[in-house]
Amino acid sequence: MERAEFVAFGTQHIAVLVIIAAACAVSAWVSRNSADEERRWTAGTIGFVLLGYAIFFYVQQGLDGALSWQYSLPLELCNLVLIACIVSLFRPNGFLVEIAYFWGLGGVLQATITPDLALGFPSVDFFLFFWSHGATLAAIAFLAASRDFRPRGGSIVRMMLALNVYGIAVGAIDALAGWNYGYLCHKPAVPSLLDFLGPWPWYLISIEGVALLSFVILCLPWRIGESLRTSKAVVD
């Protein structure tokens, strides 16, 4: 089958977004409503799907002779979210779950909506991109829907500090090696949110504001819920 050029919000893109949304809804429902044994089984399944992607990616890159320091290191923001998801699914950790939730919905979701992708279905690039991003979003839905999850006090500050540590560390590596992990040195070739945030390096400053606003919005459901419970307790 001939490999077609990927078209953002074309039929293929819309179809895969619907599939990912359905997978996230099922994942969240299972996390919220199932017994502990079913939840552990689902968490393990999603974790192995993500591990399977990582193994397949590096094997495929190795067979194609495409492994390189410039493109194959797990230094993209989405890579770190994927790693945080895998660890959290098998052994929950408060900080890593927050990384998955805040960075994932702030970054992975945006990347899924505006993919940096040249070829459409049935190319390997298309398959791998939506495998990793779709399974990561399903993992985030599972983790965030858990009855045990609630953004802790100071989570926004922690996530902003962690994001800046990432930006400084990976940005320094990019600058020294001439790479572009995290799009810290130039924008992606395809249209993305960064196109609305100014030229380099000013879009890096704009990202700070977007990230902060995103993190505040992601905290709102829990803050509103707590306020409603407090109000109800006072009335009762």
Full pLDDT tens readout for the chain, 236 residues: 456 788 889 999 999 999 999 999 999 999 999 998 999 999 999 999 999 999 999 999 999 998 999 999 999 999 999 999 999 999 988 999 999 999 999 889 888 998 888 888 888 899 999 999 999 999 999 999 998 888 888 999 999 999 999 999 999 999 999 999 999 999 887 777 888 889 988 999 999 999 999 999 999 888 887 766 666 555 55
Res 133: pLDDT: 95
| Residue-wise DSSP of 46-115 | HHHHHHHHHHHHHHHHHHTT---TTTSSS-SHHHHHHHHHHHHHHS--HHHHHIIIIIIIIIIHHHHHS-
C-beta pairs of 185-192 under 8 Å, 24+ apart in sequence:
188/116, 189/116, 190/8, 190/114, 190/115, 190/116, 190/117, 191/8, 191/114, 192/110, 192/114, 192/116
CA-wise closest residue to 101 among 53, 151, 47, 153: 151
3 occurs within a structural domain: no
212 occurs within a structural domain: yes
CA-wise closest residue to 183 among 75, 61, 69: 75
197 occurs within a structural domain: yes
6 occurs within a structural domain: no
103 occurs within a structural domain: yes
Q: Is 184 helix (H, G, I), strand (E, B) or coil?
A: coil
Residue 117 CA to residue 131 CA, distance in Å, equals 13
Query: How many domains does the chain fold into?
Result: 1
74 occurs within a structural domain: yes
Strand partners, 119: 5
70 occurs within a structural domain: yes
What range defines the domain where residue 211 resides? Answer: 11-235
Cα 205 to Cα 22, 197, 201, 202: the distances in Å are 34, 9, 7, 5
Residue 103 CA to residue 76 CA, distance in Å, equals 12
| Residue-wise DSSP of 65-83 | T---TTTSSS-SHHHHHHH
CA-wise closest residue to 221 among 166, 149, 167, 162: 149
- In eight-state DSSP terms, residue 194 is G
Strand partners, 5: 119
Contact 133, 108 (CB under 8 A): yes
1 occurs within a structural domain: no
